[in-house]
Structure 1
Amino acid sequence: MDTVVAAGGGKLRGFVTRDGLAEFRGVPFARAPRFAPPEPVEPWTGVRDATRHGPVSPQPPVRPDGALGVPADLPEQDEECLNLTVVTPAADDRKRPVMVWLHGGAYVTGANSFGFYGGHRLAAEGDVVFVAPNYRLGALGYLHLPGVSPGNLGLLDQLAALRWVRDNAAAFGGDPDDVTVFGQSAGAHSIACLMALPQARGLFRRAILQSAPLGLRLAGARTAARTARLFTAALGTDPRTAPVAEILRAQVATVVRAAGPGGLYSVPPFCPVADAPPLPSVAHWLSQRARFAPEVDVLIGTTAAEMNSFLTGKPGIAQLDRFPVTARAVAAVKAGVTRWMFAGPSRAFADQLAARGGRVYSYVFDWAAPESVFGAGHCIELPFLLGDEAAWRDAPMLAGAEWSTVTETGRTLRAAWLSFARTGTPEPGWPRHAPRRAPHRLP
């Protein structure tokens, strides 16, 4: 059954799901020529079809050996990718909380249409409006090359999406004054960037940062310049006119070169850049990201063994894992890098927010599938929050787990996220974050 709303630049025709939710796909929230900031969409006449997913940012294939596996349905890719999905219990005047999902993917992969990221369970169980935007990735979103690309375009796309939510949430039964932005990995790192920006003030009331790689900080001028040199050398032509396929080829080559021998240095070379609008310097970002702490409730946490998902199975690492002595050394390295890149900086950010008067809650998610080599690695909490059994059926990180277990634990986890989105408190008995207090353990 179809359902029609007036939002953005005109009327949109969505559809009603089997669960009775109203879903709108491929909704344009902005437009942008290559290497240009996003602009408002042109209004349209008639009723625009919003029953099919829109194109996603051009990107290389998802690694088949990763913890998540490969999405079942690979979406169309195109530079005209600034569209979003809305899932709502009803397009009425109820003024529900709105949850805006920023996907991860190391700033080079990801899409709102991946089955991994479906928000239907959250919308149905919590009576909330779920919104998931696409934004530019990789070189098209984060190349900083003076005279060609200003950098941080993906971040500007996220700002544009949040402004669209502010202006249009009510048409989908949402409350524009009750928005929670939540994201994982690069999506969570993006939220930390947004929290430093005066332009984002008032666009969200709450924020959930899942496994934010805050040890990454922002790329400085030297790092951004090196990435640009590697990229232009690999491309060999003008980035402004090069075919998308050539952009992606040069992007992959840049990532490989930046990762070093064995690919062990996995810090994304295409990422938010300091001293490039709208971001300040690294030092100012570190201080200003908590400037509006009293205005934004925050839930922040990590998994217990983040780096398992990055290092397990890597050439060389797999050989070392065969022997008890070297396996213990590898485990210690994984734990140390987890603390350096994820746990330590997330805790420091929580401390900073609390010291500035923010209401902050922290957690560690510690669950592992019985036959998974990844343990409680990066992304392990996602199936408990988003997607469904079909989307996660072949995920290596869930090896040996019964979906009934994921369902039961996931219902509790979703209830905590939904409670936070509605009230600013995850659940009764969950203490507020305080320095030297251990994070709340989940599940």
Structure 2
Amino acid sequence: MTAVQADPVVSTPYGSVRGRYENGVAVFRGIPYAAPPFGPLRFRPPVPPEPWDGVREAVAFGPTPPKPPYSEAFAQYLSDPVVPGDDCLNLNVWTPEPGPAARLPVMVWLHGGALTRGSSGVPVYDGRPFARDGVVLVSVNYRLGVEGYGYFPDAPANPGLRDQLAALNWVHASIAAFGGDPDRVTLFGQSAGAISIGALLAAPQAHGLVRRAILQSGPPEAAERDKVRRMVRRMATRLKIPATAAAFAEVDPELLLRTQAEVGRLSSPVVGGPAFGIVVDGDLVPRDPPAALTEGDAAAGVELMLGWTRDEYRLWLVPGGLLERVDRLGAVALAGAMARCRVGADVPRGYRALHPKAGTAEIVGQMVTDHLLRLPLHRLADARPGSSYVYEFAWPSTLPDLGACHALELGFVFDTGEAPESRKLAGEGAPQELADEMHRAWVRFAADGDPGWQAWDDTHPVRIFGDGGTHTAHGPRDAELALWAAAQPREPAVTTDLADGVPARGTEMRSVVRRLRLPGAVRRH
């Protein structure tokens, strides 16, 4: 007779938790790393959770932070489960071997969602394949939207980023009991999660908590304070309240979410606009993250892996038929992209010359992708040669028009391609061998800092996943990115219409701004 494996119990600084074994992996879900951020703690930095007596059950995902749903156009591709409850600052752990003797590499996952959506409970982020391959996987919930990234005169900035720092401190203090090595922590995230990692790497308070980092489709950046202020002020105007944290804390969370969703429709990755984001606050984020990481000694010694998907922009433009609209708008759409990227006509002319068969939507999409993602990630790798590794994901979804779009690589990285939620974006027939290669590279990087290809140097090696077989190309984006170095940057417009950088003149330009709005206000996934 086979013995029944007892449920795993592990002690944390705040009390013991009981998980369960699932296919040979010990799983703990919904462990609180901070107190519920409501009542007097709303819009405030996180504080430790109340300790508990006895053993706390940790078998179900914990509550998710308040967030609006995706619009129908995006929900057909992206899953975002909701778990009600206030105790939303929680995390999950998958481990092959609980106990302090194991000393396994640790990976901490920060999800994307434009800092307004997403959670650790998305099935694509199942940590079992990482644990199967000898990694302790931790995934984190953190505050979103105005609750996590509103900018107020009477409250500290960046509470959502402070949540992530609190989770990292929890990992440093607790992960050894789950079998992890606190000195081998790899922080990885996609889109808004990657942007968050850039800020954390630049934060002195996070020094020593991270050994390695993987930034997927998100560069280090800080939002302009005025953009975030405008989001808050527009919400305050609709709610007829002062634009202060004290006033917002009195508003019902559901009403706040509805108002946030209404105001958020004015944002788009193509033409910009007010949006929530991490801001330089003089405390947790003392200076602009890209400057801190490329010009200073922030995160010295931290090894990096950086990358993007070949067709990031298609997740921004395909839902709702915006791809076809951009092609129809032609020169007007190009003018909008030039204003968004603050460059003259020489840049799109250069893209046309390099890609003579490309349509307007592809030119606009690749320009904005290069401006937002590839150019700053190139600069980061250039500043850290020898300890940076760069990749591009190029396998196209089997669904119409998506190509190798934003977020498509996630099911391959996590090796969760069989999950229905992965197939929503990838379609049917995603190659398992590609998932094996990508997942193995992420595991190798977490284990010893070498994902299996050449480190960044002046030949610009980029590992290409999924374009005629995995291989290394040298400088595959150099020609496009060189156009930006040669371009004369334009000053941002002083007076703006609905989108930042789009001059408030001319019905044609105002029309393109309206037409390029993205359903569901997904600035970035």
The one of 23, 28, 41 equivalent to 1:24 is 28
Asked if 1:123 corresponds to 2:131, the answer is yes
> Is 1:113 the counterpart of 2:121 in the alignment?
yes
Deviations 1:19-39 (A, max 9, x none): 110000110111132111011
Deviation of 1:258 after TM superposition, in Å, equals: 3.9
CA deviation profile, 1:212-252 (whole Å, cap 9, x unmatched): 145xx312232232222112112324211111101101211
Structure 1 residues without counterparts, runs of 5 or longer = none
Q: 1:316 to 1:363 in 2, by over 3 A?
A: closer
Question: Is the 8 Å Cα contact of residues 142 and 164 (structure 2) preserved in structure 1?
Answer: yes
Specify which of 7, 13, 16 is matched with residue 11 of structure 1: 16
Question: Aligned AA for 2:206?
Answer: A
CA distance in 1, matches of 2:298, 2:421: 41
Indicate which of 236, 239, 242 corresponds to 1:235. Answer: 239
2:54 is the alignment partner of 1:50: no
- The 1:277/1:438 distance shift into structure 2, 3 A limit, reads same
SS in 1 for 2:62: coil
Residue 340 of structure 1 aligns with an amino acid whose one-letter code is H
TM-score (norm 1): 0.90
SS at match of 1:161: helix
Instruction: Confirm whether residue 249 of structure 1 aligns to residue 258 of structure 2.
Output: yes
Deviations 1:364-392 (A, max 9, x none): 11111234311011011101022634534
- The answer on whether the counterparts of 1:67 and 1:395 sit within 8 Å (CA) in structure 2 is no
- The aligned residue for residue 60 of structure 1 is 68
Q: Secondary structure at the match of 2:419?
A: helix
Q: Determine if the alignment matches structure 1 residue 193 to structure 2 residue 216.
A: no
The sequence identity of aligned pairs, in percent, is 37
Match of 2:474 in 1: none
Question: CA 1:111–1:94 in 2, change beyond 3 Å: closer, same or farther?
Answer: same
2:223 corresponds in structure 1 to: 219
Aligned residue for 1:98, secondary structure, equals strand
What is the CA–CA distance in structure 1 between the aligned matches of 2:30 and 2:48, rounded to whole Å?
15
Q: Secondary structure at the match of 2:404?
A: coil
Whether 2:49 is the aligned partner of 1:35: answer no
Q: How does the TM-score come out when normalised to structure 2?
A: 0.76
Tell me what 1:156 maps to.
162
CA contact (8 A) 1:64 1:70 kept: no
Equivalent position of 1:417 in the other structure: 442
Structure 1 residues 247, 66: CA separation in 2 closer, same or farther (over 3 Å shift)? same
User: What letter is aligned with 1:442?
Assistant: F
AA at the equivalent of 1:346: L
Of 167, 176, 182, the residue aligned with 2:182 is 176
Paired amino acid for 2:366: A
Q: Which runs of 4+ in 1 moved over 6 A?
A: 322-327
1:347 is paired with a residue of what secondary structure? Answer: helix
Tell me, in whole angstroms, the C-alpha distance in 2 between the residues paired with 1:30 and 1:397. Answer: 33
Q: Which residue of 2 aligns with 1:145?
A: 152
> Secondary structure at the residue paired with 2:412?
helix
Q: Does 1:82 align with 2:113?
A: no
Contact conserved, 2:149 with 2:277, CA < 8 A, in 1?
yes
Residue 411 of structure 2 corresponds to residue 383 of structure 1:
yes
Distance in 1, Cα, partners of 2:32 & 2:11: 13
Q: Take 2:16 and 2:159, find their aligned partners in 1: how far apart are those partners? A: 28
TM alignment of 1:283-294, pairs within 5 A: 285-290=289-294, 291-294=297-300
**Compared CA separation, residues 112 and 59, structure 1 to 2 (3 A):** same
> Residues of 2 paired with 1:142 and 1:247: CA distance?
13
Amino acid at match of 2:235: F
8 Å CA contact 2:111–2:120 kept in 1: the answer is yes
Q: Which entry has the higher C-alpha Rg, 1 or 2?
A: 2
Task: Report the residue type matching 1:76 in the other structure.
Answer: V
Contact 1:372/1:398 (<8 A) preserved: no
CA distance in 2, matches of 1:221, 1:144: 7
Whether 1:331 aligns to 2:340 is no
Q: Give yes or no for contact 2:397–2:408 (8 Å, CA) kept in 1.
A: no
Counterpart of 1:365 (choices 378, 393, 402) is 393
The Cα of 1:82 is off from its aligned counterpart by 0.6
Shift of 1:336: 0.9
Task: Output aligned runs, 1:251-330, within 5 Å.
Answer: 251-259=260-268, 264-265=270-271, 269-275=275-281, 277-282=283-288, 285-290=289-294, 291-319=297-325, 321=327, 328-330=359-361
Q: Is the 8 A contact 1:68 1:379 kept in 2?
A: no
Instruction: Give the direction of change, closer, same or farther, for the CA distance of 1:324–1:145 in structure 2 (3 Å limit).
Output: closer
- Secondary structure of the corresponding residue to residue 65 of structure 1: helix
The corresponding residue for 2:429 is 402
Q: Tell me: CA distance 1:348–1:250, structure 2 relative to 1, closer, same or farther (3 Å).
A: same
Question: Residues of 1 paired with 2:110 and 2:196: CA distance?
Answer: 8
Q: Counterparts of 1:80 and 1:371 in 2: how far apart (Å)?
A: 37
What CA distance in whole angstroms lies between the structure 2 residues aligned with 1:63 and 1:169?
Answer: 37
**TM-align CA RMSD:** 2.3
Query: Is the 1:35–1:240 contact (alpha carbons within 8 Å) kept by the matching residues of 2?
Result: yes
Given the alignment, which residue of 97, 103, 108 partners 2:111? 103
The alpha carbon displacement at 1:287 in A equals 2.3
* SS of 1:245 mapped into structure 2: helix
